[in-house]
């Protein structure tokens, strides 16, 4: 079943066309990786799925993006409702300057959940889901800044998952982390795929090959190739893809 569908997406920053005629579909409960050199548009494309690019002045979109067969750019769609459904984890850990508990509870609270018991329960569940519970259960009221970088990023994953989205967007989630923390994040991604559809942008090709079911290669605003990860990394059809994964440019 298709979770996300992009139909002939063109995206502009002012006069600059950042994305050109992109169509793709992302199946439910799979992990899809976007790879490509910096500036190829992969992050821009990812940020269309939760309308994060709405914030950029002068940005303009052509085409349709459907999630659960609904055009998320149709008039009448409320972005806050959409973002409840489509969570996001950013390149650098960005916890709020609040306690660990408040960080995870934030999404529930801003969406109107008042039930304290449920929130406490859900915070625990989310922290367990992010394999962070055992490390922080005794200091839930400590500042999130007291955690290490890797822990902070897992906290951000817990924070995104607490709202129970059906899609999780990850924008190079491990690029600022050390190898051990990176391995933990990758492990998490593999575990979470039962609950959510994950789209991950990464510049690390081993990571893409380890965690994803399907991979899309972007170059200069175009999607060059999109196929099963196995195919992309062993037997790509396009020469550009071949060059990129073998490290001949990028």
Q: By CB under 8 A, name the one of 15, 16, 76, 78 that touches other proteins.
A: 78
Site for other proteins in 168-187 (CB under 8 A): none
How many residues bind other proteins (CB under 8 A)? The answer is: 40
DSSP string, 156-222: HHHHHHHT--SEEEEESTTTTS-HHHHHHHHHHHHHHTTT-EEEEE-S-HHHHHHH-SEEEEEETTE
In this structure, are residues 65 and 86 in contact, taking their beta carbons and an 8 Å threshold?
no
Neighbour-count burial of 46, counting CB atoms closer than 10 A to its CB (0-12 exposed, 13-18 middle, 19+ buried):
buried
Asked if 20 is part of the footprint of other proteins (rule: CB under 8 A), the reply reads no
Cα distances from 80 to residues 52, 166, 225, in angstroms, run 11, 14, 32
Q: 84 vs 184, which CB is nearer to other proteins?
A: 84
Query: 92 or 238: whose CB is closer to other proteins?
Result: 92
Q: Does 160 bind other proteins (CB under 8 A)?
A: yes
Residue from the set 164, 175, 204, 242 that interacts with other proteins by CB under 8 A:
164
Q: Could you give the string, one character per residue 80-119, with x where binding to other proteins holds by CB under 8 A and - elsewhere? A: xx-xx--xx-x-x-xxxxx-------xxx-xxxxxx--x-
Spatial contact of 236 and 245, defined as CB atoms under 8 Å apart: yes
> Judged by CB under 8 A, which stretch of 29-37, 69-77, 159-167, 237-245 contacts other proteins?
159-167
Q: Among 4, 26, 42, 50, which residue interacts with other proteins (rule: CB under 8 A)?
A: 50
Is the CB of 67 or the CB of 232 nearer to other proteins? 67
Structure tokens at 111: 């969406």
**Residue 41 tokens, joined:** 């548009």
The pair of structure tokens assigned to 174 is 């491990």
Tell me how far, at minimum, the Cβ of 3 lies from other proteins, in Å: 17
124 touches other proteins (CB under 8 A): no
In this structure, are residues 184 and 131 in contact, taking their beta carbons and an 8 Å threshold? yes
- Applying CB under 8 A, the residues found at the interface with other proteins are 50, 52, 55, 57, 78-81, 83-84, 87-88, 90, 92, 94-98, 106-108, 110-115, 118, 122, 125, 129, 156, 159-164, 195
């Amino acid at each position: 079943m298709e979770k996300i569908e992009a139909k002939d997406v063109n995206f502009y920053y002012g006069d600059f066309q950042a994305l050109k005629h992109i169509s793709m579909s992302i199946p439910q409960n799979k992990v899809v990786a976007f790879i490509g050199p910096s500036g190829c548009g992969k992050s821009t494309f990812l940020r269309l799925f939760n309308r994060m690019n709405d914030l950029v002045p002068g940005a303009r979109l052509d085409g349709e993006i459907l999630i659960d067969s609904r055009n998320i750019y149709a008039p009448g769609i409320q972005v806050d409702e959409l973002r409840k459904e489509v969570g996001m984890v950013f390149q650098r850990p960005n916890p709020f300057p609040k306690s660990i508990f408040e960080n995870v509870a934030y999404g529930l609270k801003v969406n109107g959940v008042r039930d304290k018991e449920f929130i406490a329960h859900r915070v625990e569940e989310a922290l367990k889901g992010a394999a962070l519970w055992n490390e922080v259960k005794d200091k839930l009221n400590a500042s999130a800044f007291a955690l290490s970088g890797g822990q902070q990023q897992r906290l951000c994953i817990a924070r995104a998952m607490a709202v129970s989205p059906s899609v999780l967007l990850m924008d190079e989630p491990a690029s600022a982390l050390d190898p051990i923390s990176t391995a933990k994040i990758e492990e998490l991604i593999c575990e979470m795929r039962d609950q959510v559809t994950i789209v991950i942008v990464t510049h690390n090709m081993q990571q893409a090959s380890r965690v994803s079911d399907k991979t899309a290669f972007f170059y200069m605003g175009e999607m060059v190739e999109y196929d099963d990860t196995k195919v992309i990394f062993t037997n790509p059809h396009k020469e550009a893809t071949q060059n990129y994964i073998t490290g001949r440019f990028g």
